[in-house]
């Protein structure tokens, strides 16, 4: 029973499941997940890339990893694999939702812990299977959804194979999917490594991405997801990595990339409308406008306390964006003043501000905010 006491989730007796091979025999146990006081949903499942990865890439062969200092310099657990100085967006959101601890990475989540959620996100991952392969191994969206399918199979044991009860449980959970950035950064606009920019026009590429994404989100729906957040791709034409490489006359940002992303984002919002309009009965999808939010944080940086909006707190070269943050590199002293942590990712403060804005207001959410979604 010590294992149960150590779990962050509390349990009361209702459903029987079997725990075999404990001291050589099977024991009958009964559990029902009970939501801790103040926690607004029973569980939270996360899919995405390095913006929300919290350690899934630590043990694989890839350049897309962040389990070294100074990453995590402001996080209580240190360098856990989060691609920022502290909390990610979903860390901050989990706190707002009342979770007593952060959602565990799928690579570490085991057994009953999966009842409260898991983070499947992987740095360099994209909607397309080949995306991010220039950086090494990663878990694509297709594999992340498959991993959630494996999770559902494990959860079914806790519900004694009662699919109706399991689906009822999962229907109350929140699901987050933030995908698409790498399909542009580490695919379409990396023509030395990928042929997609010659295979597709910008409009056609957005279309095939959305078709693939729609299939994957529909798979999540078939596995029990009903309350789902999907994010627009942020204004990545303005991140330090792009600013270090772009030399435009009329704009500091690479508007070619921003315009391409806008096509995807527009289609994604239409997809959300279609899902909510009856295409996926009983589902409620919420569109998070990370493009507009990143634009606002950049345009009005000083009003949020950001003195530096065009360079990373940690990095090398022009805009601290030519090479991203290196092991044991000395970062900027005052992280609160920087919008970006490294060449690609926002600082903890930017993540917290965005989490608060999307949780309780409709500045960047459609058709409702996250707090309202949790209450459904």
Beta bridge partners of 34: 10
The active-site residue out of 183, 303, 342, 361 is: 342
Phi and psi of 141, rounded to 5°? -60, -40
Beta bridge partners of 46: 119, 176
The active-site residue out of 50, 122, 177, 181 is: 50
Residue 212 known to be catalytic = no
Q: Which residue has the tokens 């970006």?
A: 340
CB 335 within 8 A of CB 77: no
User: Using CA atoms, how far apart are residues 82 and 68, in angstroms rounded to an integer?
Assistant: 10
Phi and psi of 136, rounded to 5°? 115, -155
What tokens appear for 230 in the block?
């999907």
User: Using CA atoms, how far apart are residues 91 and 140, in angstroms rounded to an integer?
Assistant: 21
Chain-centroid distance of CA 167 in Å reads 23
Phi and psi of 363, rounded to 5°? -60, -40
The active-site residue out of 74, 107, 296, 345 is: 345
User: Using CA atoms, how far apart are residues 68 and 195, in angstroms rounded to an integer?
Assistant: 33
The CA-based diameter of the chain, rounded to the nearest angstrom, is 73
What does the DSSP assignment read for 65-123?
---STTTTTTSTT-SSSBSSSS--HHHHHHHHTT-SSPPPBTTT--GGGGGGEEE---T
CB 132 within 8 A of CB 186: yes
Residue 303 known to be catalytic = no
Residue 342 known to be catalytic = yes
User: Using CA atoms, how far apart are residues 292 and 234, in angstroms rounded to an integer?
Assistant: 8
How many CB atoms lie under 10 A from the CB of residue 38?
Answer: 9
Question: Which DSSP helix (H) or strand (E) runs through 39?
Answer: none
Q: Which residues are catalytically annotated?
A: 50, 342, 345
């Amino acid at each position: 029973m010590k294992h149960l006491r150590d779990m962050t989730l509390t349990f009361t007796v209702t459903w029987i499941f079997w725990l075999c091979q404990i001291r050589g025999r099977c024991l009958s146990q009964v559990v029902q997940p009970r939501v801790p006081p103040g926690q607004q949903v029973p569980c939270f499942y996360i899919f995405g890339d390095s913006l929300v990865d919290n350690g899934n890439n630590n043990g694989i062969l890839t350049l897309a990893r962040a389990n070294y200092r100074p990453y995590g310099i402001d996080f209580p657990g240190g360098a856990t694999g989060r691609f920022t100085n502290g909390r990610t967006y979903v860390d901050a959101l989990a706190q707002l939702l009342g979770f007593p601890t952060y959602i565990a990475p799928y690579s570490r989540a085991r057994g009953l812990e999966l009842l409260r959620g898991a983070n499947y996100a992987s740095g360099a991952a994209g909607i397309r299977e080949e995306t991010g392969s220039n950086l090494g191994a990663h878990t694509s969206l297709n594999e992340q959804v498959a991993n959630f399918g494996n999770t559902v199979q494990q959860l079914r044991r806790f519900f004694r194979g009662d699919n109706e009860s399991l689906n009822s449980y999962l229907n109350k959970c929140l699901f987050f999917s933030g995908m698409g950035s790498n399909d542009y950064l580490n695919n379409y606009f990396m023509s030395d490594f990928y042929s997609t920019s010659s295979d597709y026009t910008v409009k056609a590429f957005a279309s095939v991405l959305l078709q693939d994404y729609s299939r994957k989100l529909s798979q999540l729906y078939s596995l029990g997801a009903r309350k789902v957040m999907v994010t627009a791709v942020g204004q990545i034409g303005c991140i330090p990595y792009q600013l270090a490489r772009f030399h435009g006359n009329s704009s500091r940002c690479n508007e070619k990339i921003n315009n391409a992303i806008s096509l995807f984002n527009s289609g994604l919002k239409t997809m959300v409308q279609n899902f909510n309009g009856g295409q996926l009965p009983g589902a409620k999808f919420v569109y998070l406008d990370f493009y507009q939010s990143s634009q606002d944080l950049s345009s009005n940086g000083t009003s949020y306390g950001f003195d530096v909006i065009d360079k990373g707190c940690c990095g090398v070269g022009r805009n601290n964006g030519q090479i991203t943050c290196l092991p044991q590199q000395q970062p900027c002293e005052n992280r609160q003043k920087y919008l970006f942590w490294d060449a690609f990712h926002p600082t903890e403060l930017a993540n917290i501000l965005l989490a608060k804005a999307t949780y309780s207001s409709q500045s960047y959410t459609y058709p409702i905010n996250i707090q309202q979604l949790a209450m459904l």
